[in-house]
Amino acid sequence: MKISESDLIINPDGSIYHLNLLPGDVADTVITVGDPDRVGEVSKYFDQIEFKKGKREFITHTGFIGKKRVTVLSTGIGTDNIDIVFNELDALVNVDFETREVKKELTSLNIIRVGTSGAVQPDIPMGTILASSHGLGMDALMNYYLQQLSGDEQLLMDDIKIHFGHLKNINPYLTAANEGLLNSIGKDMVHGITITAPGFYAPQGRIVRAKNAVPDFIGLINSFQSNQYRITNLEMETAGIYALAKVLGHKALSVNAILASRVKFEFSNEPNKIVEQAIKTVLERI
């Protein structure tokens, strides 16, 4: 079936609407970062840069590490941007832009986020590199997509619904990391459930001047336990990445540079060093 011109927008030069990329520009391994300035911090380790492109907050560098072709792409902040990035990345590899039809043979990308995050458990200090075993979304993105949970995801979700059931206006969603990526790139890292929040301040329990509707948000999330699983950290993209990757048939892992301890009220004074360590670790393992 032909995808309409208003559903899938292709620019006059044949590139996709927001990412400004052509089919063929995306490597099978994609690293996503939030901050556009972090794209160069990743591609500086490439042996060869094939091209640099960008539009708005979506900066892309594709190149080679040895013989391996890698794309690094910035998503900006939030799951609203993840909706754009993941649908457009998927269309670039799985839709024929000439016929506007879904290709017969689908490509499954390996997508690794290297992001920053705040820890909510006292035993997870700043400087930790953490791989998200699950993304737990507190935003609204997955109200708009059909998602099927595995048996394990459903069991965990049942406990989450009980724990967070009193938050009447929030409809949490959960997706597990790709197991292969978690056990390879994420091996030896701290693992835990990452909460993806629809904001940085009250949605992550921060108090500056406005009054928060959810009292002791950090206490609420760090007291959750279901079998071996606990919530370890807060950021703003992982749950959307895990959920849309699964819906679209891609593999995803989120690696978090822990810059803050929300229980010790500390924020790192050397965030770039921690992010650099996360980037180097991921690049060594892809």
Ligand X SMILES: O=P(O)(O)O[C@H]1O[C@H](CO)[C@@H](O)[C@H]1O
Question: What are the residues binding ligand X (CB under 6 A)?
Answer: 33-35, 77, 115-116, 200, 235-237
Q: Does 118 bind ligand URA (CB under 6 A)?
A: yes
CB-based burial label for 225 (10 Å; 0-12, 13-18, 19+): exposed
Out of ligand X, ligand URA, none, what residue 128 binds, judged by CB under 5 to 8 A for its kind, is none
Provide, rounded to whole angstroms, the least separation between the CB of residue 74 and ligand URA. 15
For residues 235 and 135, what is the distance between their CA atoms, to the nearest angstrom?
Answer: 10
Q: At what angle do helices 238-248 and 79-94 cross, to 10 degrees?
A: 30
Which partner from the list ligand X, ligand URA, none does 260 bind, CB cut-off 5 to 8 Å by kind? ligand URA
Show the tokens assigned to 60. Answer: 């892309």
Q: Of the two residues 35 and 41, which places its CB atom closer to ligand X in the complex?
A: 35
Question: Binding residue for ligand URA (CB under 6 A) from 117, 128, 238, 261?
Answer: 117
Closer residue to ligand X in complex, CB, 95/113: 113
Structure tokens at 259: 């810059």
- Tell me the site size for ligand URA, rule CB under 6 A: 10
Compute the Cα dihedral for 139, 140, 143, 145 and give only its sign: negative
Contact 207, 106 (CB under 8 A): no
Q: Which stretch binds ligand URA (CB under 6 A): 122-130, 151-159, 182-190, 233-241?
A: 233-241
| C-alpha span between 130 and 134 (Å, rounded) | 12
Q: What share of the chain is helix, strand, coil (3-state, %, to 5)?
A: 30, 30, 40
Among 221, 244, 260, 283, binds ligand URA (CB under 6 A): 260
Kindly tell me which residue out of 21, 38, 235, 248 binds ligand URA, with binding defined by CB under 6 A: 235
Smallest distance, Å, CB 13 to ligand X? 28
To the nearest 10°, report the CA torsion of 169, 176, 252, 139.
Answer: 0
Of 65 and 77, nearer to ligand X (C-beta) is 77
Query: Which of ligand X, ligand URA, none does residue 77 bind (CB under 5 to 8 Å by kind)?
Result: ligand X
User: How many separate helices (H) and strands (E) can be counted in the chain?
Assistant: 7, 14
33 binds ligand URA (CB under 6 A): no
Q: From the list 236, 241, 243, 248, which residue makes contact with ligand URA (rule: CB under 6 A)?
A: 236
Q: Considering the complex, state which of residue 236 and residue 258 has its C-beta at the smaller distance from ligand X.
A: 236
- At closest approach, how far in Å is the CB of 175 from ligand X? 16
Identify the CA nearest to 242 among candidates 143, 164, 176, 155. Answer: 176
Q: Which is nearer to ligand URA, 181 or 275 (CB)?
A: 275
Which of 45, 64, 97, 200 lies at the binding interface for ligand URA (CB under 6 A)?
Answer: 200
> Among 242, 232, 234, 192, which Cα is nearest to 82's?
242
Amino acid at residue number 242: Y
Which residues would be at the binding site for ligand URA (CB under 6 A)?
Answer: 116-118, 200, 204, 234-236, 259-260
